[in-house]
Amino acid sequence: MEISHANSLAVLIAARNEADVIAGTIGSLRKAFPGAALWVADDASDDGTAEAAMAAGAKVVSRGKPHGKGGNMTACAEAMLSDPGPEGNGPPRLVLLCDGDLARSAGNLAPLVEAVETGDCDLAVAMFAKRVGGGFGFALGFSAWVIRKRCGAEPEAPISGQRAMRLEVLREVLPFAASYGMETGMTIDAVRAGYRLGEYEIDLAHKATGKSLKGFLHRFRQLIDFARVWWARRGGRGPDGRRPS
């Protein structure tokens, strides 16, 4: 039996220059989660990603210049939280975050939502069943080290962007850490706040960076962002009560 997610689930999709796959990602999510509110955080794409997402029926939050994944997803989350909803009921009680390049495999994310719905965990994270591309694991290992040092958790998928949580958890981890530090900071903030982390192996596919100059530059930028998270979270919240970025 098909379960409707109307007024119960919002999906926030991170995207930058994904015009070739974003419609497939949105379509797969709509099929897997009928009735869910679909939002795309478009990080100033210049290939028509925003237009393709709107044509596919998603709400799009896009700014004039790139702000990095963490900044743009924070803006999207805040827009979702302030949206009155189709019936004026406010934001849904569950939130799913995912990347825009999952295409048809995005429909396989249901176990994350189910894990949170059933109380199996508070923050459900997807582990890719098959590794696609990537480098030598330095960025992944450093993110895991930062998380272990700052909150004691030892995740296997520390930088996975596919995550489900209740609305209260989302509010706790906002604003997201800047750029590629988003997931690393999110995990630390959630665990420090007492929420339970769960990881689930799921058959997913995405555009992976390989052992090329572009791929190594990408991972170097990741390492810098992870180091910033490590430094920013040496204490708690800042004097203004907000999470450090």
Condensed to tens digits (0 to 9), the pLDDT of residues 14-37 reads 999 999 999 999 999 999 999 999
Helices (H), 9-158: 22-32, 49-55, 68-82, 110-117, 138-151
Residue 232 in contact with residue 245, Cβ under 8 Å? Answer: yes
CA dihedral of 69, 72, 74, 78, whole degrees rounded to 10? -160
Q: Specify the number of domains making up the chain.
A: 1
Residue 38 in contact with residue 95, Cβ under 8 Å? Answer: no
Question: Which pLDDT does position 72 carry in this prediction?
Answer: 95
131: in domain: yes
pLDDT band, residue 90 (cuts 50/70/90) = confident
Average pLDDT, the chain: 90
Q: Let me know how long the chain is.
A: 245
Return the axis-axis angle of helices 182-192 and 138-151, rounded to nearest 10°: 20
Condensed to tens digits (0 to 9), the pLDDT of residues 169-223 reads 999 999 999 999 999 999 999 999 999 999 999 999 876 655 555 665 777 899 9
pTM of structure: 0.90
Q: Domain containing 87: what range?
A: 9-232
Across 102-116, average pLDDT: 97
What is the spatial distance between Cα 63 and Cα 44, in angstroms, rounded to a whole number?
6
Residue 190 in contact with residue 176, Cβ under 8 Å? Answer: no
Residue 17 in contact with residue 46, Cβ under 8 Å? Answer: yes
243: in domain: no
3: in domain: no
244: in domain: no
Interstrand relation of 163-166 and 37-42 (parallel, antiparallel or unpaired): unpaired
238: in domain: no
Condensed to tens digits (0 to 9), the pLDDT of residues 70-87 reads 999 999 999 999 998 877
Contacts of residue 50, defined as CB under 8 A and 6 or more positions apart, other chains included, come to: 40, 42, 60, 62
237: in domain: no
pLDDT band, residue 240 (cuts 50/70/90) = very low
Q: Is the pLDDT of residue 241 over 50?
A: no
Contacts of residue 152, defined as CB under 8 A and 6 or more positions apart, other chains included, come to: 191
Across 107-132, average pLDDT: 92
CATH of the domain at 132: 3.90.550.10
